[in-house]
Structure 1
Amino acid sequence: MSFALLAPLGLAALAACALPILIHLVRRLQLERTEFAALRWISARVQPRRRIRFERPWLLLARLLLLATLALLLARPVLDQVEANGVEHAYIAPGADPAAARALFDRTGVDLRWLAPSFPPAEQPLADHAVPFASLLREADASLPAGATLHVVVPRTLGGLDGERPRLAHALDWHVVDGEANATPVVARATIHFAVRYADEDATSLPYLRAAVAAWNAREPGRYLLDAAPLARGVPADARWLAWLAPSRPAEVDAWVERGGIALVAHDAGGGEPLWRDADGSVLARSRVQGAGRTIALPDSLSPTRLPDVLDARFATLLLDALRGAAGAPDRADAAAFEPARATYEARIDAAPLPGPVRPLDARFALLAAILFVVERVLATHVAQRGAS
């Protein structure tokens, strides 16, 4: 158990302690001069010895203690209640061999737990599902007392990562054993309705889109449903992706995109981030956010003369990536290559919270300040009464 301050800048209020000292020094100089006849025989060359002496020292002490208590109250004092009981903290990542982990820590004084929500004891059976390993590791690191070592047993293949190598505030003891983390469950992929609406002059673009959708379905059978029709059919309510192949588009299409749709629009020379370029660096397509959706704008028609990439074998993949958007960060990695790093000293000071629970002392210091105020008033009143008599 140790004393700490949550807002140490509050101690700057201690500068106010100079105020009562100055007041007592000034009042000491305010003395009445009384003439004594016998003093005329004392030579003026004899000067009295001077020294600094405070009048009413007990009153000054009470005022100084009161100001110091108020300054500490502003600094928000707390008591750190972490008990140094000598217990080591070790965690087993789901997927690691529990027997191998117990063999590594086959000694007394080790608290062995699963690196899972609520950190259950290692003796408790664990449900077979994926866990957010990276965030749980940071949580375990933040819960340790200062100076402790974080012991972690992980399988050779980690899961539940968030794309960033964790940086920990405590020393790390990293053990890799046989096993593999549970993969994130794959959610059944719903069918994607890809609507294509075209003008007569852009009907020649249809074969390229049909070939792209056929290539997609070859990898994911039956997932992509192509609905090609003239402009008069409008935008289907259940369409997720749209290709609008016409020199102009109605407000209906823009409204559909703003509600969250993704549209490939021909004859659109608007701005946006460059998406595809040719060999000379010229922009062939741009992507821009539009409300809750996104537009992939082609400056001209979807044809080999205007967009040579449609004849490239990679066109189907390029178009699919453009419609899907940015891919998520990988959540699996080799444990030996993913060993977390320790944060720098400055980062640990700035980011690490106080280890363990704390007990606020605000109420106690406020009570002490009230008592000192009463004492100061009693002493000041007593001094005033003595001066009046």
Structure 2
Amino acid sequence: MSLLWLFPAGFIALAALLLPLLIHLARRSEQRIIDFAALRWLSAKPRPRRRIRFDEWPLLLLRLLLLGLLAMLLARPALTGVADTQARVAVLPSLDVAAAQAAVAATDAQWLWLAPGFPRIDKNSAPTPSQPIASLLRELDASLPADAPLTVVVPTVLDGLDAQRVQLSRSMRWQVIEQAPATNAATVPPAPRLQIRHDAVGAQGLRYLNALASAWNTAKPDTAGDDTAFTDTQALHVWLSAKPLPASVRAERRSGNTLLVDARTPVPADAQRTPLWRDAAGTLVLEQISSAQGQWLRWAAPLQASTLPVLLEADFPAQLRAIVQPPSMPRRALAAGMQPQAGAAAYPQAATELSHWLLLAIALLFLLERWLASAPRRRGQP
């Protein structure tokens, strides 16, 4: 454990120590001359004072000490390496506190909610979970002292997980309490609708896209010529034309909507081309075009079975849907298999500031100084 100063420039305030010295020199006790009749005609010859004298030494020292503590308060003293071995028990807000306390025998531990800010547990006010449990565990690990034991109480099934197990800087106890998981309906989004704009050559590929809509179990595609604007912002837009993309279509690309364009559609000169899909023979099927005009997907060949044999394969609808509508990452798992691992780098521990103790000492010294400064003997009272 060592002492450090978070703001050493605060010691400049020590220059204020001169003020009590000057005040006590200016207001030292006055010597009054009393005339005696027998000595009236003698010439007074006062002896000059050759040294500086301070009156009220206890009050002067108290004021100097008070100013010194104020300077220390400005310099913000703090202690590093303070040992804190109090156990912490973090409970997920969805759990019953009584069940958690029955499962974890830690009467002297500090009980916290595994929620933003990690508030103390109050049986009557459980916070609402608003942050993934993985990030909360990392944040809690970073905020606790390195020597503090940690126990985390979780239900049988966890939501809000990352793609990998959490890694912390400490070993911890992972207590699982049996609790029926909340029944959440499957949130698989429906397949996107198709809205197609084409020219005469592009119309030859409509039969493949109609079959694709049937395989996706969606409505028949909305088809029109390439002089008709796209109107359905929720649909998958397909541009089967040799014309450049209209300005309105390019504007939609910047907002993130998915667009499939024909192999004959001109590619911007600054475009970056990224292969996305190759068939079993290694032939390019679909590529991603990224440029200042936006981002879209482009067929590598015209929509004909002769140029794109993958159109006739049975898994073509599933593979295309996986590209235009990627499945969401699973975020639910059994808690028994998701216990955090130790081995992460330890976080630097924050210093413990002593400001509150200094404020208390300053307040007490100030009251003592006021009492001494206003004592009866200073007012000339008996």
Task: Give the letter aligned to residue 175 of structure 2.
Answer: H
Is the Cα contact below 8 Å between 1:159 and 1:183 reproduced in 2? no
- 1:207-255 Cα distance to aligned partner (Å, 9 max, x none): 22223223334xxxx7x78321121213337355311112333443444
1:314 maps onto 2:289 in alignment: no
**TM-score, normalising length from structure 2?**
0.62
Whole-angstrom distance in 1 between the partners of 2:305 and 2:5: 70
Matched position secondary structure for 1:174? strand
* Structure 1: gaps (5+ residues): 8-75, 361-389
Aligned residues: 284
Aligned with residue 254 of structure 2, among 248, 253, 258: 258
Distance 1:292 1:200, change over 3 A: closer
Distance 1:242 1:150, change over 3 A: same
User: Higher helix proportion, which one?
Assistant: 1
Alignment match, 1:281: 282
Per the TM alignment, residue 308 of structure 1 is displaced from its structure 2 partner at its CA by 1.7
Is the Cα contact below 8 Å between 1:159 and 1:181 reproduced in 2? no
1:89-108 superposed matches below 5 A: 89-96=88-95, 98-108=97-107
Per the TM alignment, residue 89 of structure 1 is displaced from its structure 2 partner at its CA by 0.7
Alignment match, 2:226: 231
- 1:86-135 Cα distance to aligned partner (Å, 9 max, x none): 63210112444544421232342022232123334152343676641111
Distance 1:289 1:180, change over 3 A: farther
* Structure 2: gaps (5+ residues): 8-74, 356-382
Task: Give the letter aligned to residue 286 of structure 1.
Answer: E
Per the TM alignment, residue 256 of structure 1 is displaced from its structure 2 partner at its CA by 3.5
Is the Cα contact below 8 Å between 1:199 and 1:245 reproduced in 2? yes
Whole-angstrom distance in 2 between the partners of 1:293 and 1:179: 48
Task: Give the letter aligned to residue 88 of structure 1.
Answer: A
Whole-angstrom distance in 1 between the partners of 2:92 and 2:139: 13
- 1:167-220 Cα distance to aligned partner (Å, 9 max, x none): 222331111221256588988969956321112222232222223223334xxx
Alignment match, 1:146: 146
Distance 1:125 1:288, change over 3 A: same
1:354 maps onto 2:349 in alignment: yes
Is the Cα contact below 8 Å between 1:128 and 1:182 reproduced in 2? no
**TM-score, normalising length from structure 1?**
0.61
Alignment match, 1:155: 155
Question: What percentage of aligned pairs have identical amino acids?
Answer: 30
Whole-angstrom distance in 2 between the partners of 1:185 and 1:175: 27
- 1:18-58 Cα distance to aligned partner (Å, 9 max, x none): xxxxxxxxxxxxxxxxxxxxxxxxxxxxxxxxxxxxxxxxx
Distance 1:140 1:239, change over 3 A: closer
Distance 1:100 1:338, change over 3 A: same
1:58-137 superposed matches below 5 A: 79-80=78-79, 87-96=86-95, 98-120=97-119, 121=121, 123-126=123-126, 131-137=131-137
Q: CA RMSD in A?
A: 3.8
1:267 maps onto 2:278 in alignment: no
Task: Give the letter aligned to residue 230 of structure 1.
Answer: G
Task: Give the letter aligned to residue 91 of structure 2.
Answer: I
